[in-house]
């Protein structure tokens, strides 16, 4: 079963497709996910410079973009490896030649461990988090002798998603995998996703640093000496967690795209998180004007993530987007003649980048002159296993 979906993923295209002719937004099949190349590259550079200035490495999270072209760009910008949340994402990235991959969710299914072992044989370094003794024992039972695996303990403090909060259990996990040539326990992960979108910067800072203090105290009981890898953090704490000396690398994900959820939280000395530039939008076409209050566009739940805030209309500053079903959204603008908008292509900032990306097959990559010249496949799109 797992081999079937893994083989299908390995065969998916991942390389850039140049368009024969540069195209304006109006020529795209909407709803179309559009990546602004200049903003994307600026974000890569800003994160690289920021982390270098603090002596930290990047281990960017590819769950955000699911695109090996972007992972390769992040590696070229100095990352020590990429993170993935899912085994399928690891398969797609390994097939595209990404050599250092950390799986940030525990894996407890023998079928998935078997696929991961094939990834481990294929690339230079595969790491996996483990957060239970059962998980460690399953690894011992199912991991083949001819594959090497780096192991990171997953330390939870208060998020309650994955990870373990017991120092004695963390030590037991380590002991279960010690003295076994197949495994190398390299350190630990701590990710406080519950803190990333706290609107007030001061509160986010205080709570993130406090969580790291607790995580480090737990890890100190599990390890006899300083771990080689201490990884975690996200875009919301990119300039906060660098103050923690023990952290070796940051698993930042959303910074390359930004989204409405992130731009609306407070940054350091700024009312919005403006250290990075929004680079991702969805272009939709206005197709109907059933009332005098707004126009209907061709993007709804199947074009935008709908777990949080609404998409933000970028061309019509006072307008609001309201979901109107699977395929439609209504752009509310106030009373007036809406007919002139019909047929126009309108752009929307994505509400939440990761689940929005997972709804699309490709990025349409747009240059500074407004023209689209390349398509980048979202190779691991739908690889949610
Ligand atoms: C384990 C882990 N690390 C890092 C990230 C990246 O976070 P962000 O997109 O906020 O940068 C995520 C995102 O959910 C995550 O689950």
Mind listing the pLDDT tens digit for each residue in 266-292?
Answer: 999 999 999 999 999 999 999 999 999
Q: Which helix (H) or strand (E) holds 376?
A: strand 372-377
For residue 106, being part of any structural domain is answered with yes
For residue 350, being part of any structural domain is answered with no
Listed in sequence order, the residues at least 6 apart from 293 whose beta carbon sits closer than 8 Å to its beta carbon are 332, 333, 334, 335, 338
pTM: 0.98
Report pLDDT for 231.
98
Over the chain, what is the mean pLDDT?
Answer: 97
For residue 203, being part of any structural domain is answered with yes
For residue 5, being part of any structural domain is answered with no
Average pLDDT over residues 342-349: 98
Q: Helices 2-10 and 87-95, interaxial angle, to 10°?
A: 40
Taking the centre of ligand 1 as the mean of its atom positions, its distance from the CA of residue 146, in whole angstroms, is: 31
Tell me what percent of the residues of the chain surpass a pLDDT of 90: 99
- Cα–Cα distance, 376 to 228 (Å, whole number): 35
For residue 121, being part of any structural domain is answered with yes
Q: Is 68 in the pocket of ligand 1 (CB under 6 A)?
A: no
Q: Is 61 in the pocket of ligand 1 (CB under 6 A)?
A: yes
Report pLDDT for 109.
97
Report pLDDT for 192.
98
Cβ-count burial 35-74 (b if 16+ within 10 Å, e if not):
bbbebbeebbeebbebbeeeebbbbbbbbbbbbbbbbbbb
Domain count, the chain: 1
Confidence of residue 222 (pLDDT cuts 50, 70, 90): very high
Report pLDDT for 292.
96
Report pLDDT for 65.
98
- Cα–Cα distance, 164 to 62 (Å, whole number): 23
For residue 31, being part of any structural domain is answered with no
Q: Is 84 in the pocket of ligand 1 (CB under 6 A)?
A: no
Report pLDDT for 15.
98
Average pLDDT over residues 38-47: 98
Quick one: tokens of 278?
Answer: 């929004």
Cβ-count burial 267-289 (b if 16+ within 10 Å, e if not):
beeeeebebbbbbbbbbbbbeeb
Taking the centre of ligand 1 as the mean of its atom positions, its distance from the CA of residue 65, in whole angstroms, is: 12
**Can you say whether residue 274 is alpha, beta or left, with left for phi > 0 and alpha for psi between -120 and 50 degrees?**
alpha
Q: Whose CA is nearest to atom 7 of ligand 1?
A: 234
Cβ-count burial 217-246 (b if 16+ within 10 Å, e if not):
ebbeebbeeebebbbbbbbbbbbbbbebee
| CB contact at 8 A, 339 and 325 | no
- Cα–Cα distance, 75 to 58 (Å, whole number): 9
Terminal Cα distance for the chain, rounded = 12
For residue 189, being part of any structural domain is answered with yes
| CB contact at 8 A, 383 and 9 | yes
Q: Is 353 in the pocket of ligand 1 (CB under 6 A)?
A: no
Q: Whose CA is nearest to atom 3 of ligand 1?
A: 251
Residue among 74, 193, 195, 350 whose CB has most ligand 1 atoms within 8 A, to mutate? 193
DSSP state of 310: -
| CB contact at 8 A, 60 and 256 | yes
Q: Helices 110-122 and 87-95, interaxial angle, to 10°?
A: 20
Report pLDDT for 313.
98
For residue 17, being part of any structural domain is answered with no
DSSP state of 235: G
| CB contact at 8 A, 312 and 284 | no
Q: Which atom of ligand 1 is nearest to the CA of 196?
A: 10
Average pLDDT over residues 90-96: 98
- Cα–Cα distance, 183 to 248 (Å, whole number): 20
CATH of the domain at 192: 3.20.20.10
Summarize pLDDT for 230-270 with one digit per residue, the tens.
999 999 999 999 999 999 999 999 999 999 999 999 999 99
Report pLDDT for 304.
98
Segments in 30-83 forming alpha helices (H): 37-53, 68-76
Could you list the residue range(s) of the whole structural domain that residue 138 is in? Answer: 37-256
Q: Which residues pair with 317 in a beta bridge?
A: none
Report pLDDT for 224.
92
């Amino acid at each position: 079963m797992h081999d079937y979906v893994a083989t299908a993923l390995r065969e998916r295209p991942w390389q850039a497709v140049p368009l024969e002719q540069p195209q304006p937004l109006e020529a795209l099949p909407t709803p179309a996910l559009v990546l602004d190349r200049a903003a994307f590259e600026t974000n890569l550079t800003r994160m690289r410079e920021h982390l270098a200035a603090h002596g930290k490495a990047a281990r960017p999270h590819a769950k955000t973009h699911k695109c090996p072209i972007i992972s390769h760009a992040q590696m070229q910008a100095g990352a020590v490896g990429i993170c993935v949340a899912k085994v399928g994402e690891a398969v797609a990235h390994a097939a595209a030649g990404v050599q250092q991959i950390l799986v940030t969710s525990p894996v407890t299914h023998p079928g998935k461990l078997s696929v991961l072992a094939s990834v481990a044989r294929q690339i230079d370094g595969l790491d996996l988090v483990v957060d239970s003794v059962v998980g460690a024992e399953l690894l011992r039972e199912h991991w083949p002798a001819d594959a090497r695996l780096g192991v990171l303990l997953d330390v939870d403090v208060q998020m309650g998603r994955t990870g373990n909060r017991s120092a004695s259990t963390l030590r037991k996990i380590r002991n279960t995998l010690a003295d076994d040539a197949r495994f190398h326990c390299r350190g630990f992960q701590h990710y406080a996703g519950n803190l990333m979108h706290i609107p007030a910067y001061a509160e986010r800072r205080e709570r993130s640093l406090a969580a790291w203090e607790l995580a480090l105290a737990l890890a100190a009981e599990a390890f006899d000496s300083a771990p080689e890898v201490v990884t975690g953090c996200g875009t919301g704490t990119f300039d906060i967690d660098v103050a923690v000396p023990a952290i070796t690398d940051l698993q930042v994900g959303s910074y390359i795209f930004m989204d409405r959820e992130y731009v609306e939280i407070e940054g350091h000395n700024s009312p919005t998180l403006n250290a990075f530039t929004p680079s991702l939008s969805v272009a939709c076409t206005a197709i109907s004007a059933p009332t005098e209050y707004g126009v209907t566009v061709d993007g709804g739940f199947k074009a935008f993530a709908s777990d949080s805030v609404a998409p933000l209309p970028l061309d019509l500053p006072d307008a609001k987007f309201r979901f109107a079903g699977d395929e439609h959204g209504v752009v509310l603008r106030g009373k007036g003649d809406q007919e002139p908008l019909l047929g126009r292509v309108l752009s929307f900032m994505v509400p939440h980048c990761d689940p929005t990306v997972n709804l699309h097959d490709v990025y349409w990559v747009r240059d500074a002159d407004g023209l689209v010249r390349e398509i980048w496949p979202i190779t691991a799109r739908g690889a949610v296993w």
